Chains A and B, each alone.
Chain A
Amino acid sequence: MTFLKINNLSVDYQMRKETVNAAKNVNIEVNKGEILGLVGESGSGKSTVGNAIINLIDEPGKVSSGSVILGDLNIHENSESIVKYRGNKIGLIFQDPQTSLNPILTVGEQLIETIQTHLKLSKEEAKNKSLNLLKEVGIKDAETRFDNYPHQFSGGMRQRVVISLALCCEPELLIADEPTTALDVSIQSQILELIKKLTKERNLAVILITHDMGVIAETADRVAVMKSGNLVEIGETKEILTKPQENYTKSLVSSVPPTNKKISRFVIVEKENSDKKENNIKILNRWTKKVIIDQDLVQIKNLSKSFDDNFFTESSKNSVMAVNDVSFDIKEGESFGLVGESGSGKSTIAKMIVNLFKPSSGNIFFDNVCITKIKQRSELMKFRKQIQMIFQDPYSSLNGRLKVKDIIAEPITLHNPSISNIDLNNYIYDLLESVELTQKSADRYPHEFSGGQRQRISIARALATQPRLLVCDEPTSALDVSIQAQILNLLKDLQEQLNLTILFISHDLPVVRQMCDRIGVLKDGKLCEVSNTEDLFLKPDHEYTKELLRLMPKIESIYN
């Protein structure tokens, strides 16, 4: 039984020069008790469609044509009528639970206000209803939590509150826009379970908007794939993921890192220009080539870091140990993965290795020299040159006021002040071509590039000092899956040709499986286990690792 029917929906953004079609003639139907997954990369228009259903599109965008039929009501008849259905017939959940609740109103106030807007209930009745709802979405101790402010809830709990707010007036359609993207794996699975349970119990029609194919495979009954405003394909989840018809869907599915096996490279179906094979060699000539010695390039011994020890209260009892007595080694030439959820201390370890943080205790050896004990700046510079870092967010890690060539030149001239201008320029061009960017990009500014291209610039900058160790802190977390595949391929190629040692930090287990030789699992600052990648995935030792593997959304689950 079709409950929601979207007919020929188009959304236009009237810009100064042109009109951008964020959605073009989209037709989607959703049944009651069904979860429809809406997937696509950033800019594909998937969120636009979700927002357009309740006409919640930011200026200057507007729904230019099409109709939305809910049951037997045409809710787009006039703009006044849609407002009536918001919250009442249709609930919406946003991506980030940190920002979707008003920080200065208590959870209870927000619930009661929403309920009283739509239902004719007294304050007392509204409160009882809210308490029941909070219990239903799995918030313990609802009576006291009712008077708490949003910041007193953890991320997962906050998303539960958001869900209770979306459902408090018993809507029949729920639109969830990336509801778990900002959450850790373990919380993600809880929230998805909750959405599935509510769908069944309340016979809801659900549209789940996400970029994560694993989430789709585990939750959605049917999938709609979108690309630049067009609906590419729609059908049963299993059909779409196993036998995609359209080229775009094929490339999307093949870019997803498989969770059940290790592949040597990601298959990239839609490559923009295929004539870039003889790359990479360019900087190889300049590389003062390091032969891999069979040794531990990095040795980490009993490393700890606590954040609130200061001059007066050294290591007080209450201090939070961000990293707690961690020891592991990285062999020269290997890729070592560090995985863990947010707050597990993985980025803190990275920052200590590149000497941005000082450890509270413990030592880090690089090439058999203890780098944590070096006092002299000139000595330290020798090591800084050999260890470089790539950060997660390509938008904030490049200085927007410098041209790309200046960004890359900075580390080169810092470590080699006598380099001639011609030599410097050639070196920069070689670096850019090595990361598959054109020479022309040197004279442009970072904002002219896309996220994936910016991450390439970051890589070029990191390679500029010819490092031996590359620390990659979530290098692809901010990128779309097809771009992620390209960047990961690039990193693999570079590592192979330049004999790099890589420390790869990620929360994304499938990615780590593809990238790393060995993996360390972190939890609350402690190292749970270290083992070879395949061993870890096939027969994990530690309980926490087993838990992580069990909870990770698996695109392959669709085959079973």
Chain B
Amino acid sequence: MVGEETSDEERAELRETLGLMDPIHVQFSRFIVNASKGEFGISYQLRRPVSELIVERLPATIELVVISALIALITGTLLGVYTGINRKGFLSDFVLAVSLLGVSLPTFVIGILFIYLFAVILGILPSFGRGEVVDLGFWTTGFLTVSGLKAIILPSVTLSLFQMTYIIRLVRAEMMEILQTDYIKFARARGISENSIKYKHALKNGLIPVITIAGINIGTLIAFSIITETVFQWPGMGFLFIQAVQFVDIPIMSAYLVFIAFVFVMINFIVDILYYLIDPRIRVKGDTASG
């Protein structure tokens, strides 16, 4: 916050106003009280209130995470169902082999490879930033401009790959297990059509654990987005956080971490409710079997 020519008096005064001279427990309790009110102080680096910065950066991260979660869930489930049903065959083997790559390659390597391929060699997609954004007052979105839509493709695919491969493998394992169960065999014995067996009877049961895992993983997506945002210079919270780490900008870091913790708790709460709605065995726990 201070430059070369700041005098010692000014430095001392600034320390005083920031409360850095107080004992640690006073500073900490002040932090707790303020944090519970949603006030995280002023960024040392940018000299603006942290809450303002977070709100400014939030839309970029949320858009990125939502898009990559959708990509991961939809493609992951589709490919998982496909490989679970067609266990042998070229396409299944291919998908599984690629999914292994997705699990083992770190996000930043994939990101850099994508930039090299699509931005440098082919030159069809931008290599960094959000493109043009439209300001809706409370929210800035990149969905309304062509450059914004183009810009989100690479980072969101990069971010989704790890989760997608995870979901592919989970759905595949679930489908394979469920297709062996007695109730699927009984449905076959009743002559229910194969399509109904696969997509109504088996898939519905197979998605129950996927919802739990996927929900928790959306939290992980936000956490992973730090790396992706840095690689693609995406102006989101993760990028903000990395910059804050370099400048030891504690108010931003603490605000970011509290926010992430809050998101994790909320997502788990929502997942539990979803679980309750989807699985009748949990829903009617109070009812005892009768008759």
A168 to B192, CA, bound (A): 13
A86 & B189 in contact (Cβ 8 Å cutoff):
yes
Partner of B196, one of A113, A152, A153: A113
* Nearest neighbor of A139 in chain B, beta-carbon distance: B291
B190 & A86 in contact (Cβ 8 Å cutoff):
yes
A169 partner residues in chain B, CB cutoff 8 A: 190-191
B186 partner residues in chain A, CB cutoff 8 A: 92, 94, 100-101, 162, 165
Contact code string B188-225 (vs A, CB < 8 Å = 1, else 0)? 11111100100011001100100000000000000000
A56 & B191 in contact (Cβ 8 Å cutoff):
no
B280 & A149 in contact (Cβ 8 Å cutoff):
yes
B278 & A104 in contact (Cβ 8 Å cutoff):
yes
A548 close to B (CB within 8 Å): no
B287 close to A (CB within 8 Å): yes
B290 & A154 in contact (Cβ 8 Å cutoff):
yes
Partner of B189, one of A92, A96, A99, A153: A92
Rounded to whole Å, the gap between the CB of A344 and the closest CB of chain B is 17
Partner of A151, one of B190, B191, B278, B280: B280
A86 to B189, CA, bound (A): 5
Please classify how large the interface on chain B is, using the bins under 10, 10 to 19, 20 to 34, 35 or more.
Answer: 20 to 34
* Nearest neighbor of A103 in chain B, beta-carbon distance: B281
Measured CB to CB, the residues of A under 8 A from B are 54, 56, 58, 83-88, 91-92, 94, 96, 99-106, 113-114, 117-118, 139-141, 145, 149, 151-154, 157, 162, 165-166, 168-169
User: A102 with B191: in contact, given A94-B182, A151-B281 (CB under 8 Å)?
Assistant: no
Partner of B188, one of A56, A145, A162: A56
B181 close to A (CB within 8 Å): yes
Within 8 A of A (CB), among B276-291: 278-281, 284, 287, 289-291
B200 partner residues in chain A, CB cutoff 8 A: 105, 113
A99 to B185, CA, bound (A): 10
Interface hub of B181, B185, B191 (most chain A Cβ within 10 A)? B191
A113 to B193, CA, bound (A): 10
B187 close to A (CB within 8 Å): yes
B284 partner residues in chain A, CB cutoff 8 A: 149, 151-152
Rounded to whole Å, the gap between the CB of A142 and the closest CB of chain B is 11
B208 partner residues in chain A, CB cutoff 8 A: 104
Q: Which 5 A-B pairs have the closest CB atoms?
A: A87-B191, A86-B191, A87-B190, A92-B189, A99-B182
A94 to B287, CA, bound (A): 26
A84 to B192, CA, bound (A): 10
A92 to B184, CA, bound (A): 13
B183 close to A (CB within 8 Å): yes
User: A103 with B280: in contact, given A83-B191, A86-B188, A86-B190 (CB under 8 Å)?
Assistant: yes
B189 & A102 in contact (Cβ 8 Å cutoff):
no
A168 to B287, CA, bound (A): 27
User: A114 with B205: in contact, given A104-B278, A145-B291, A152-B287 (CB under 8 Å)?
Assistant: no
A162 to B187, CA, bound (A): 11
A86 partner residues in chain B, CB cutoff 8 A: 188-191
User: A54 with B189: in contact, given A103-B205, A104-B205 (CB under 8 Å)?
Assistant: yes
A538 to B226, CA, bound (A): 79
A548 to B189, CA, bound (A): 34
B188 partner residues in chain A, CB cutoff 8 A: 56, 86
B289 partner residues in chain A, CB cutoff 8 A: 151-154, 157
A99 to B187, CA, bound (A): 12
Contact code string B254-291 (vs A, CB < 8 Å = 1, else 0)? 00000000000000000000000011110010010111
A162 to B183, CA, bound (A): 10
A102 to B200, CA, bound (A): 10
A101 to B279, CA, bound (A): 14
A151 partner residues in chain B, CB cutoff 8 A: 280-281, 284, 289
A165 to B188, CA, bound (A): 12
Rounded to whole Å, the gap between the CB of A495 and the closest CB of chain B is 39
A114 & B192 in contact (Cβ 8 Å cutoff):
yes
User: A87 with B192: in contact, given A94-B182, A99-B182, A100-B182 (CB under 8 Å)?
Assistant: yes
